[in-house]
Amino acid sequence: MGNIRPTYIKKIANELIAKRGYAFGTDFETNKREVAVHTDITSKTIRNRVAGYITRRNVIAQRKTVI
């Protein structure tokens, strides 16, 4: 079973991926910095959750392309 994330986290992440998908990869630390640059999120917790969700989506997508 995976983590259950609130819809507002998913919504922010999906909008970021749609607008600036090229900026995000599979590294959490890099994604954390990119989320801070491309949004005005002031909360560290929310920023990290969004970056974690983006990282997870990219890792899963990368696995599907390799197989």
**pTM of this prediction?**
0.90
How would residue 67 be classed by pLDDT, with cut points 50, 70 and 90?
A: low
Residue 60 lies in a domain: yes
Query: What gap in Å lies between CA 8 and CA 14, rounded to an integer?
Result: 10
Return the number of other C-beta atoms located less than 10 Å from residue 18's C-beta: 8
- Side chain identity at 9, as an amino acid letter? I
Judge contact between 28 and 52, C-beta under 8 A. yes
How would residue 65 be classed by pLDDT, with cut points 50, 70 and 90?
A: confident
Q: What is the pLDDT of residues 7-29, one digit of tens each?
A: 999 999 999 999 998 999 999 99
Domain of 53, in residue numbers: 20-66
Total number of domains constituting the chain? 1
